Amino acid sequence: MDIWYKENIDLKTIAPVTLLLLLGIASVYSATYDAGASIFFNRQLIWAGSGFFLMIVIMLLPFRTLQFLSYPFYGISILLLIVVLFGGKMVAGSRSWFGIGGFGLQPSEIVKVTTVLALASYLSRGQVNLQRFKHLATALGFVLFPVALITLQPDIGTAIIYLGMLFIVLFWAGASNFLMITLLAPAAAAIATLFGTTAFFIVVILTLVVLFVLRENRLFSATIFSFTVLVGVSVQFIFDKLAPHQQNRITTFLNPDADPLGAGYNVIQSKIAIGSGGFFGKGFLQGSQTQLNFLPAQWTDFIYCVPAEEFGFIGAFAILLFLTLFLIRGVQIASIVKNRYASLVAIGIVATFATHTVINIGMSMGMMPVIGVPLPFLSYGGSNLMTNMIMAGLLLNMYANRKEY
Amino acid sequence: MAEFAESSTRKIVFYTAIGIVFFVFLARLIQLQVLYADVYGKKSEENSIRQIARTPIRGLMFDLNGTLIVDNGPAYSITITPAEFRMSGLTLLSNILRTDTQIIKEKFEKGIRYNRFTPTKIKRDIDFKTLSLIEENKDRLPGVDYQIESKRFYPTKSKATHLYGYTKEISDQQLLEMGNEYRPGDNIGATGLEAAYERYLRGQKGFELITVNALGQIMGDYNEGKNNIPVREGSDLFLSLDAKLQALAESLLSDKRGAVVALDPNNGGLLALVSKPDYDLTTFGTVTPLDAWKELNTDESKPLFNRATLTRYPPGSTFKMVLAAAALEEGVINQNWRVNCTGAFRFGNKVFSDLHIHGSTNVVEAIQKSCNVFFYQLMLKTGFERWTRYGREFGFGNPTGLDILEENPGLLPSEEYYDRIYGKGKWTQGYLISLGIGQGEVGVSPLQMAGYAAAIANRGYYHTPHAVLRIRDKESGKLQIVPTETRKLDISPWVWDVLQEGMYRCVNEIGGTGQASKVKSVSVCGKTGTAQNPHGKKDHAWFIGFAPRENPKIAICVLIENVGFGGAFAAPIAGLCIEQYIYGKLIRNVQQNVLTAAQSDQAQTQQREH
């Protein structure tokens, strides 16, 4: 028993997950404190408890069965995603929820896992070669289909997570540098254009340099380069055609300081919360920003401010450190497993957690546009926490089966 | 697994990427929480300073004699403090307030988001009985309290709905436009004087800065109150309105549709402004109940419509002095010029009728008896251009400039206007004939008519009508006189003599159409009018006049819709109003009897006119 335990349970994954869960529960308790524990806290506690149990169950599932069920899981979850578009509840302008009893289910969260599973399953097939257009298109299709459905809800934040995950998994799966630049350059050009002409030219020059270094087929290279420039120019063209208030929305999205009462308000208050926490913090339940509700719904997307204000740099750094350790451990697991499917699943999970983390903490500290995505293990929300625990369970499962081919 | 050979380089890419992000975020954390901790700490302290607004008391309104006519009274609003409120009290509260639990819950949740230690209003302007019930059940309703706000009430019988106007809660759009001076939930003048003098009546908000602790509880004044802005109460308005005259005029029109406007011919001060039917302004005391608003808005008799200033009816024969003045002053005719009235006037193939055969008639007799044939001919002789020019001199076709914002400029046709509407050369002199007796396209409001009567009364001065004479600053007690404008009409004294003589005879001599406006020992001058109603209903009755002739103190216009002749229905009301104002009371016996007697008398003798 002792040996099995040592062999199969990865404490390097479980430890940061558990610590993050505890910090998350404390943060939700503080953020929603109302002369005692709130209904948010009680629910989060139930989800964390059952989520932990679910993580262990997933860890113990037979590995082959999991691989076998990847496509069926994907199919069912995509079906839910379609149904929610028609029968879902409207919450904060998005149709992304099912109401079941008092609880809500958000299919786009579950689909995060099933998409990783399906994509890994496809890419791990021996004959799949990303250099072939048909195979590449299929791989892209696995992700772009749910992205399209989620964009219809509309939930841009979640859609961005999927695209980040896709990109990282393709890289891990052995996509050539040339393929990566083909996918990355036009997207980078589009975003850079919105930041200004200088940014656009930097991207264009970088693309040119990379293409030159890669020394691929000249015709392909020229096509990709022209396409990149074209995307940048057309984005600028479309931007100029937009009404001033639409341009404004994009500008404040990229630079929240430009709108201190709208989108910028959250970022300003968030920075004040984090900064005023200082080194040691104001103390549990003593954060004035948190307790006076300067941030709307800070128990979800802006949860990072709560420990940062009340536990100061110590608390904020601890969360950053635990998340980093967890991600590094994920990459290690992806590297040591013998099975290609397991490796791709692990890297897909790492990619999903990493994009959430970067976007969420970057946003809270005013380094990123305000994109509503939760912080893994900390933000309030059942569907998201359960999905996170399932993904942690999958990592543990891959680790336990690391010697299987 | 060929690619996996490369996986060590890919692994390094991953570790590097994670490492870079980690150190960038770490650097940012150090920047925010260590290097700039003081700056953000200060900002968060500033966040814990709260601003409490103190709403000033709205200014009052007084009438000509110093009688308080628009006052403030207490209105009670029920509030809940979210932190103290318990959901167990929800049903009880909902029953007492007769408000849906869902609505209370929504306001409660909105309150939580703002600050759970600050009372949130859940129902405004409740009655005293509801307040007592809340007080009785205080133990079972923790966190429920009340706040006193002020609301308008009107202590005299003078209700002057359309003049005083009402205030309403500021809209989101207005909030955007007004900037910092208003907050959500504030009231703002919406109509009448409340809107026109909003910036005086409102006063200036006071702000107290208080510090709150981390739990939002009030700790005390910030900086010992040195940064507080004291509240400035709203200024009072002193009106030229005579509340007693206003009240009488309202009662005389109580079952009618119409308007009365009375002016002081010496300065243009508004003595009375009645538009009926009206509505109860106290309905709008604090917040406008939606159902009451809908009812008023869809009422077929249009109680919201200010008939005194927005009406645009033809003036009928009351307009004849405009033409007479133009013809006499321009030397088209003199006072001895005569027309033989045969009861009809043929022009081309059209016959313009008169109701009587007046025989040989000069201009004074034509005004006295309202002879149409005389004015048909005079119009053709005088011409369109002069008629329009003198109409404009008397203030028609333009807003008078009364100090309430709702006014219709009316329509004074001109050659250019007809060219535009009908096309150049497509209209004939025949179009003019109707205008000569105030029928057709010409459109006027009772307010314009009163201004016109006042200019005849004072022999040529057009004072811009105004309701407010002085504004009193509450703080300093200083009185500010509202500036007025006066315009001199370029018309000779002998012409005024002729017009006044005609109007005097109209009221005081046999054959005059306005005899129902006669007042004992007062030389009333007047002119009746009947506006043809193209919509098939009965005609609109007009009367304009002034008194006394030697030393005019009041000029008046009465309009009653859809009743018939001006001499029968409008003149008696004007007579009673003049009597009230000159004597300070009615010297006749019972006013109602006098009124009905006058009407039936007129009807029986078939004293018909236009």
- Condensed to tens digits (0 to 9), the pLDDT of residues A306-342 reads 999 999 999 999 999 999 999 999 999 999 999 999 9
What one-character DSSP code corresponds to residue B33?
A: I
Burial class (CB in 10 A: 0-12, 13-18, 19+), B494: exposed
Of A279, A293, A350, the CB nearest to B34: A279
Q: Are strands B206-212 and B359-361 parallel, antiparallel or unpaired?
A: unpaired
- The answer to whether residue B14 neighbours chain A at the CB level (below 8 Å) is yes
> Model confidence at A32, in pLDDT bands (50, 70, 90)?
confident
A40-58 tens-digit pLDDT = 888 899 999 999 999 999 9
pLDDT in the model for residue B350: 80
Report the pLDDT averaged over residues A238-259: 73
* Of residues B24 and A265, more confidently modeled: B24
Of A291, A350, A361, the CB nearest to B25: A361
Q: What is the per-residue DSSP string for A317-339?
A: HHHHHHHHHHHHHHHHHHHH-S-
CA distance A17 to A55: 10
Flag the least confident range among A36-40, A305-309, B490-494, B528-532. A36-40
pLDDT in the model for residue A218: 85
- The answer to whether residue B176 neighbours chain A at the CB level (below 8 Å) is no
Helices (H), A153-217: 156-172, 177-195, 197-214
Among B54, B52, B51, smallest CA distance to B205 is for: B54
Strand partners, B269: B466
Q: Which of residues 30-59 of B touch A (CB under 8 A)?
A: 30, 32-34, 36-37, 39-41, 43-45, 47-48
Strand partners, B525: B546
Q: How far is A286 from chain B (nearest CA, A)?
A: 6
Is residue B446 over pLDDT 70?
Answer: yes
* Of residues B350 and A73, more confidently modeled: A73
- Residues of chain A contacting B7 with CB distance shorter than 8 Å: 172, 335, 343
Q: Return the structure tokens found at B580.
A: 């009230």
Coil, strand or helix: which one is A292? coil
A343-380 tens-digit pLDDT = 999 999 999 999 999 999 998 998 888 888 899 999 99
Q: Which amino acid is at A34?
A: D
> Model confidence at B214, in pLDDT bands (50, 70, 90)?
very low
Of B34, B39, B44, the CB nearest to A313: B34
Q: How far is A107 from chain B (nearest CA, A)?
A: 28
Report the pLDDT averaged over residues B473-488: 89
Residue of chain B with shortest Cα separation from A304: B29
Side-chain half-sphere exposure of B374, counting CA atoms within 13 A: 30
Coil, strand or helix: which one is A91? strand
Among A176, A175, A183, smallest CA distance to A224 is for: A183
- Residues of chain A contacting B29 with CB distance shorter than 8 Å: 274, 308, 313, 316-317, 320, 365
Q: How far is B168 from chain A (nearest CA, A)?
A: 26
CA distance B353 to B427: 21
CA distance A206 to A209: 5
How far is Cα of residue B200 from the mean position of the Cα atoms in its chain? Answer: 16
pLDDT in the model for residue A244: 74
Is residue B225 over pLDDT 50?
Answer: yes
Backbone angles phi, psi at B71, to 5 degrees: -125, 170
What one-character DSSP code corresponds to residue B204?
A: B
Residue written as tokens 């020394």?
A: A215
Q: Who contacts A310 (Cβ-Cβ below 8 Å, separation ≥6)?
A: A30, A277, A281, A282, A283, A284, A285, A286, A287, A290
- The answer to whether residue B83 neighbours chain A at the CB level (below 8 Å) is yes
pLDDT in the model for residue B211: 67
Coil, strand or helix: which one is B298? helix
pLDDT in the model for residue B168: 83
Counting residues of chain A whose pLDDT is more than 70, the rounded percentage is: 91
- Cβ separation A278–B37 shorter than 8 A: yes
pLDDT in the model for residue B461: 95
Backbone angles phi, psi at B240, to 5 degrees: -85, 5
Q: Are strands B468-472 and B187-189 parallel, antiparallel or unpaired?
A: unpaired
- Cβ separation B11–A331 shorter than 8 A: yes
Domain definitions of chain B by residue range? 46-71+154-239, 75-138, 243-278+306-604
B220 near B211, Cβ under 8 Å? yes
Mean pLDDT rounded to a whole number for chain B: 85
> Model confidence at B20, in pLDDT bands (50, 70, 90)?
very high
Coil, strand or helix: which one is B445? coil
Among B119, B154, B134, smallest CA distance to B278 is for: B154
What one-character DSSP code corresponds to residue B233?
A: P
- Cβ separation A320–B113 shorter than 8 A: no
Residue of chain B with shortest Cα separation from A34: B83
Of A35, A269, A365, the CB nearest to B32: A365
- The answer to whether residue A314 neighbours chain B at the CB level (below 8 Å) is no
Report the interhelical angle of A340-364 vs A107-123 (nearest 10°).
140
Report the pLDDT averaged over residues B221-243: 83
> Model confidence at B608, in pLDDT bands (50, 70, 90)?
very low
CA distance A127 to B142: 72
CA distance A391 to A16: 14
Residue written as tokens 């809209």?
A: B171
We find that the CATH architecture of domain B46-71+154-239 is Alpha-Beta Complex (3.90)
A222-245 tens-digit pLDDT = 888 898 999 888 888 888 887 776
> Model confidence at B538, in pLDDT bands (50, 70, 90)?
confident
Of A292, A331, A362, the CB nearest to B216: A292
CA distance A289 to B529: 73
Is residue B516 over pLDDT 70?
Answer: yes
- Cβ separation B29–A362 shorter than 8 A: no
Strand partners, B263: B270, B555
- Cβ separation A289–B47 shorter than 8 A: yes
Of A271, A286, A340, the CB nearest to B214: A286
Cis amide bond preceding A154, omega within 30: yes
Coil, strand or helix: which one is A186? helix
pLDDT in the model for residue A369: 80
Flag the least confident range among A203-207, B226-230, B606-610. B606-610
pLDDT in the model for residue A263: 58
B258-274 tens-digit pLDDT = 999 999 999 999 999 99
Q: Who contacts A234 (Cβ-Cβ below 8 Å, separation ≥6)?
A: none
Domain definitions of chain A by residue range? 1-51+244-377, 61-173, 176-241
pLDDT in the model for residue A157: 82
Counting residues of chain B whose pLDDT is more than 90, the rounded percentage is: 47
Report the pLDDT averaged over residues B382-388: 93
Is residue A91 over pLDDT 80?
Answer: no
Q: What is the per-residue DSSP string for B13-32?
A: HHHHHHHHHHHHHHHHHHII
Q: Who contacts B238 (Cβ-Cβ below 8 Å, separation ≥6)?
A: B61, B62, B66, B468, B469, B470, B471, B472, B479
Among A241, A115, A221, A209, smallest CA distance to A168 is for: A115
- Cβ separation A320–B44 shorter than 8 A: no
CA distance B203 to B199: 7
Coil, strand or helix: which one is B68? strand
> Model confidence at A88, in pLDDT bands (50, 70, 90)?
confident
Residue written as tokens 């954060």?
A: A287
- Sign of the alpha-carbon dihedral angle for A219, A225, A231, A234: negative
Residue of chain A with shortest Cα separation from B26: A317
Report the interhelical angle of A382-400 vs A11-31 (nearest 10°).
170
Counting residues of chain B whose pLDDT is more than 70, the rounded percentage is: 88
pLDDT in the model for residue A236: 87
A142 near A115, Cβ under 8 Å? yes
Coil, strand or helix: which one is A216? coil
Q: Who contacts B402 (Cβ-Cβ below 8 Å, separation ≥6)?
A: B270, B309, B447, B464, B465, B466, B467
Q: Which of residues 254-283 of A touch B (CB under 8 A)?
A: 269, 271-279, 282
Of A272, A335, A358, the CB nearest to B40: A272
pLDDT in the model for residue A14: 95
Q: Are strands B144-153 and B270-276 parallel, antiparallel or unpaired?
A: unpaired
Report the pLDDT averaged over residues B292-301: 79
Q: Sort residue A184 into left (φ over 0), alpha (ψ -120 to 50) or beta.
A: alpha
Is residue A31 over pLDDT 90?
Answer: no
Is residue A90 over pLDDT 70?
Answer: no
Helices (H), A10-106: 11-31, 39-60, 63-68, 70-87
What CATH code would you report for B75-138?
Answer: 3.30.1390
B60 near B153, Cβ under 8 Å? no
Coil, strand or helix: which one is A232? helix
Q: How many Cβ atoms sit within 10 Å of the Cβ of residue A304?
A: 27
Report the interhelical angle of A107-123 vs A133-152 (nearest 10°).
180
Of B29, B43, B215, the CB nearest to A291: B215
Report the pLDDT averaged over residues A134-146: 93
* Of residues A209 and B596, more confidently modeled: A209
CA distance A373 to A305: 14
- The answer to whether residue A316 neighbours chain B at the CB level (below 8 Å) is yes
> Model confidence at B607, in pLDDT bands (50, 70, 90)?
very low
We find that the CATH architecture of domain B243-278+306-604 is 3-Layer(aba) Sandwich (3.40)
CA angle B171, B174, B175 (to 5 degrees): 85
- Run of H or E including B435: helix B430-436
Report the interhelical angle of B493-508 vs B320-329 (nearest 10°).
150
> Model confidence at B471, in pLDDT bands (50, 70, 90)?
very high
B304 near B295, Cβ under 8 Å? no
Pairs of residues, one from chain A and one from chain B, whose beta carbons lie less than 8 Å apart: 114
Burial class (CB in 10 A: 0-12, 13-18, 19+), A138: middle
Q: Which amino acid is at B328?
A: L
* Of residues A32 and A124, more confidently modeled: A124
Please check whether the two domains, B46-71+154-239 and B75-138, share a CATH topology. Answer: no
